Structure 1
Amino acid sequence: MKKLSVIALVLVLGLSTFLGGCSSSSSSSSSANDDSLKYVMDKGELIVGLDDAFPPMGFRDDDNNIVGFDIDLAKEVAKRMDIKVKFQPVNWQAKEQELSSKNIDCIWNGFGITPEREKVLTISEPYMANPQIFVVLADSGIKTQDDLKGKVVAAQNGSTAYATIDKDTELKDSFKEFVGVEDNVKALMDLGVGGSDAVAMDTVVARYYMAKDPGKYSIIKDTTILDEKMGVGFRKGDNALCKKVEDTLKEMKKDGTLAKISKEWFGEDLTIIGEDK
């Protein structure tokens, strides 16, 4: 598989160091003062921060209800914890600030695990793999990464795809322009009307739109921006709450609930939590 740069490779290699789950970032002193689970249980509600324009993970349906794969997961986890769940849309670029100010209790919406995020957050074990890739129009004639030289490439602001490319000066400078957009929905709309030549984005999102509109989009083959995995993000040191959510997801994996939800959205079980890493 072709890697974009040394930077991307370092990120991928570094990722393995940080995928230890909730307890990997804890210390004995922080754990002793960790009331994160009690805080959520006492108020009887888990507030989930999300980007509500990120199908199929979390998005608005035709009736303006927030739906999606991660929405179904969070609802089932909250049900098993015997608490309510509230879905709070946030500015994706300010998601960490929303978390630290306690406007939300976790970030759960196709949240990619990276070493940079692990430094400032506590993150669960990965529950799904989600490589970052380039999407183009099927009739664009763009077949390889080299074909993107001199082209306009877009990515969602605050996404790991945007961050990875932004750090890769050589790759970024090969584009005519690298632009940040509000969300992936807008990015694909712009692509469709010629506002850009390619979009760097999540595989799960790309596959969802490709299934909805067969023949319109294609993925540049043999090129991966980042071999990303998804997890649930919590405030740094909120290991008790993280572990409860993580353990509940593992229970759901074991009893087949995760597979059922995944098949409803993707046609197959793409979940990986509880498997050998």
Structure 2
Amino acid sequence: MLSIYAASFYGCGKKEWSDSHNNEAGLPEIVIGSDNYPPYNYVDTDGNATGIDVELATEAFKRMGYKARFIYIDWEDKKNLLADRTIDCAWGSFSMDGRENEYRWAGPYMTSRQVVAVNMESDIYSLEDLEGKTIAVQTTTRPEKIFLSKTDERIPAIRSLIALQKRELIYPFLSKGYADALAAHETAIRQYMEDYNIKFRILDEPLETVGLGVAFDKNDDRGIEKQLTEILNQMRNDGTEKKIISRYIPDADKYLEVDSYGK
């Protein structure tokens, strides 16, 4: 499966994604803000939004009586866009951990490992080996917070942290040697390697395992997040989540162990 990065993604402002999934005439719309992050959210060769989160959102909101409409946003702006109701929710491989009190959450609907990846010839084999190195991350993500907080005793003092607005830029920063390592969701790194036939080495020890959720504004009192949580649980129990996730990544079951997550 080749993920196609549409040129319009690199423009300014918000871009609407054409989505062939959404043909439920007459249903009220839910506007979902996300960015380009295969295999969770991306544009296929026909210009339609697709990916794990896109399919999950389309099915979940359909069951709730809504039509999902996806727009591309600058991920840094998500909190403001939620507050002014430009978008109803932010859904895009979004880690709940450490942000529990910043939003109203639906989920977690699956888990994901935040990991560090390096070039194949790198001499970095553990988190300890990151001492004095340069790491590339996306801004406002969990990896950025982990490295900036300096509270994880496993992580030594690094030389510098390169925080990039576009997630897809962290990969060429590593492959071209501008960074010694990158940190992101393991599933996204593996998808990039498959799409572009490039090999990185993922460190065995993860930065953390996180729960993925759907964020609503803190002051959004419509209760949609509670209903959505119930529907996502229903989709997990009836096998729909596994069926969708399996279309994009292997071993779907290990990403659905949310009942034991955090325990």
TM-score, normalised to structure 2's length? 0.80
Superposed CA RMSD in Å reads 2.4
- Whether 2:92 is the aligned partner of 1:126: answer no
Kindly indicate which of the two structures has a greater share of residues assigned to helix: 1
Q: Is the 1:122–1:238 contact (alpha carbons within 8 Å) kept by the matching residues of 2?
A: no
**Which residue of structure 2 lines up, in the alignment, with residue 250 of structure 1?**
233
In percent, how many aligned pairs have the same letter? 28
- Provide the rounded CA distance (Å) in 1 between the counterparts of 2:161 and 2:52: 29
Q: CA deviation at 1:199?
A: 0.4
Cα-to-partner distance string for 1:200-232 (whole Å, 9 max, x where unaligned): 11122122223445661111122x223211011
* Superposition TM-score, scaled by structure 1 size: 0.76
Q: Does the 8 Å CA contact 1:135/1:219 hold for their aligned counterparts?
A: yes
**Is 1:72 aligned with 2:55?**
yes
2:30 is aligned, of 42, 46, 60, to 46
* CA deviation map 1:224-276 (0-9, x unaligned): 22321101111225362011111111221122111100110112324437735
Displacement after TM superposition at 1:197 (Å):
1.0
Structure-2 residue corresponding to 1:99: 82
Q: Identify unmatched segments of 5+ residues in structure 2.
A: 1-25
Matched with 1:25 is none
Distance 1:217 1:230 in 2: 24
Q: Which amino acid aligns with 2:118?
A: V
Q: Say which structure is richer in strand.
A: 2
1:200 and 2:174 are equivalent in the alignment? no
Report if the CA contact (8 A) 1:132-1:203 is conserved: yes
Shift of 1:55: 1.0
Secondary structure of 2:95's match? coil
- Of 246, 259, 263, the match for 1:275: 259
Which one is further off, 93-102 or 57-66?
A: 57-66
**For each residue in 1:81-132, what CA deviation from the matched residue of structure 2 results, as whole angstroms up to 9, or x when unmatched?**
23211112111112111101100111111010123x2222111231111121
Give the 4+ runs in structure 1 shifted more than 6 A: 169-173
The structure whose RCO (Cα within 8 Å, separation 6+) is larger is 1
Structure 2 counterpart of 1:200, one-letter code: A
